[in-house]
Structure 1
């Protein structure tokens, strides 16, 4: 009971929380082809579709990926170098720039040691792995405690390997845990073998297909990942997680039509999926359909999501829809809910465009200056306000 309670305190959905760091992106030797064919790689710069008539250009990150409707792991990553990572100043609140280890993966066992004068709850150095792996009712809670609470992947891997052997390689759950441990340790091919072996069982959940798809994404094989998600949809028709992951891959590869179609399929089964609504709204906005985007953003606001980003997008949609009075109100609300200087700078920059559209150049200049006050590195504001 205590192991389960301690595990629940720090449990995270590592399937969604995982993010590739600079060490994995620069020193990854798992991909097969260094120069992949167009449309078969996630690491190559996506090219824009021909014959685009939109007056607005969809922004991209420094890695070349198009900005997404919602903030997800990997969507805001910057393509850096090892030298920049070494020069990056670090504080106690920031994660290590060299690896994908971040605050959510730190050793949470130290917090339990602070409340227990005698030391940690379980001393992993003296743990008899073979003994506890043979006890079915204790092995799984112990693995989750080691994996999530102690974050000791090597000991968890040893326990999972021993338990898999004891169960005569017939338990899919232990195979999945082995694959997760291999994935965390960077042994991608071994993780692929374990997930493939788990799929041979009849009662495997959707999670196995999602993890195997992540493996192929890490191997820079998006088409193989799409095949895995398609196989999962054949077994679990209408599963929104599988459709969402497939839509993310299409979005990363700049295939916006397929991406929008899949997100609409998600809304067919889950009408309150914020990621699908925001992504569809963003695609309509950059296809010169601000009126339709406005309807989707209003839907998100009606669902209770209230932040500066929503009001900022509502303001831009109202501005392009010639609803200037509503645009001003939305931008005021966006400034009210702004929680960082970067967000405040972007909002003032958008208000400056609103002022330009209304013909007030003096107000636009003041807005761009306020954007520079909030963020001195706002290059767009420098361009439009060179004084």
Structure 2
């Protein structure tokens, strides 16, 4: 069997280490084999790849050193840092709240495991929750751990010496530039070199490729340049309507603490992609963070219209009914999903 074909087969079956080993042997025989070089970069990237649309939790450093706030005191219902009282309806029980005043979600996701301390003293004294055995670390720490994982995947040293690369040369070759960018950004965690390559590639394609603009926005976001990221994403959406730019743009607005603007962007995306569950879930999460549970449940139910086994929507709706003194309704939702069987058995004891 052709070794390159076997390497492609391993990559499709997600056997990334085997794919990397085969490509390494091919490159030892022919260092100029572009197909093997590109496939190896993709395999190494896939080993440490993390989808950044959902996974983004603010740690203590981001909370206390946030200089993007416009107003110290925001109007009720317009900030995730100071959620309002909400419209959850009457309840005889008390729904558990985080330190920032948000109701605990029925589904664990980034941003729901800890509160948002206002001072360093509060951050140090923050008690550890039942969901995690340690305080929530910053996003920068996660990137460092990803960089450590990438070094462990290449014990013989880095596959590509970034200091010796001619980025201008690679930027003009689109068939190599995209896989190289993902390798630098995800595997090597070198945002500045990734930004340089993305800027040169955007210029090389005469600013007509929306994909490169999204990558520029991701680099700007990682560097804390949120307004520059916003401009790149808006420019990408003018060229091509895709779901990812809408999700990243809403992520920028949430980091700027503009949840209502994010909701508007999500709804603009729904006009183009009707029934897209990721956009509907994003709106529901914002309303849940603002403590507007009725609106959150409405959009979670819309999610279930298009994806009847969406675990997050089922769990959040069931949790809402449970804390509004409707445990029998919560049981019906927990029955739908086998993953939530444990919660179903727990509620039967009430």
Shorter-chain TM-score bucket reads 0.7 to 0.9
Q: How does 1:87-236 map to 2 (within 5 A)?
A: 97=137, 99-102=139-142, 105-114=146-155, 116=156, 119-201=157-239, 203-236=240-273
Alpha-carbon contact 2:83-2:102 (below 8 Å) kept: yes
Aligned residue for 1:40, secondary structure, equals: coil
Alpha-carbon contact 2:48-2:146 (below 8 Å) kept: no
What are the superposed Cα offsets for residues 211-254 of structure 1, whole Å, 9 maximum, x if unpaired?
00011111111110000001000000110000000000000001
State the distance in 2 between where 1:274 and 1:176 align. Answer: 29
Q: Which has the higher contact order (CA 8 A, sep 6+)?
A: 2
Alpha-carbon contact 1:147-1:153 (below 8 Å) kept: yes
Aligned residue for 2:337, secondary structure, equals: helix
State the distance in 2 between where 1:190 and 1:154 align. Answer: 15
* Structure 1 match to 2:74: 36
TM-score (norm 2): 0.82
Cα RMSD for the two superposed structures:
2.2
State the distance in 2 between where 1:183 and 1:9 align. Answer: 23
Go from structure 1 to structure 2 and tell me whether the alpha carbon gap of 1:267 and 1:210 turns closer, same or farther (over 3 Å shift): same
* Structure 2 match to 1:47: 85
| Structure 1 position 31, deviation (Å) | 2.3
State the distance in 2 between where 1:151 and 1:295 align. Answer: 45
Moved more, 209-218 or 103-112: 103-112
Runs of 4+ in 1 over 6 A off after TM superposition: 93-96
Residue-pair matches, total = 304
State the distance in 1 between where 2:312 and 2:319 align. Answer: 11
| Structure 1 position 15, deviation (Å) | 1.1
State the distance in 1 between where 2:332 and 2:139 align. Answer: 40
Q: Which runs of 5+ in 1 are unaligned?
A: 321-387
Alpha-carbon contact 2:42-2:179 (below 8 Å) kept: yes
Q: How does 1:313-328 map to 2 (within 5 A)?
A: 313-320=343-350
Aligned residue for 2:154, secondary structure, equals: helix
Alpha-carbon contact 2:87-2:294 (below 8 Å) kept: no
State the distance in 1 between where 2:266 and 2:206 align. Answer: 28
- Of structures 1 and 2, the larger Rg is shown by 1
Go from structure 1 to structure 2 and tell me whether the alpha carbon gap of 1:87 and 1:278 turns closer, same or farther (over 3 Å shift): closer
Aligned residue for 2:113, secondary structure, equals: coil
State the distance in 2 between where 1:33 and 1:3 align. Answer: 44
State the distance in 1 between where 2:138 and 2:289 align. Answer: 24
State the distance in 1 between where 2:292 and 2:101 align. Answer: 14
Go from structure 1 to structure 2 and tell me whether the alpha carbon gap of 1:276 and 1:179 turns closer, same or farther (over 3 Å shift): same
State the distance in 2 between where 1:139 and 1:236 align. Answer: 29
What are the superposed Cα offsets for residues 145-200 of structure 1, whole Å, 9 maximum, x if unpaired?
01111111111111101111111111100000000011111111111111111110
Q: Which runs of 5+ in 2 are unaligned?
A: 1-38, 127-132
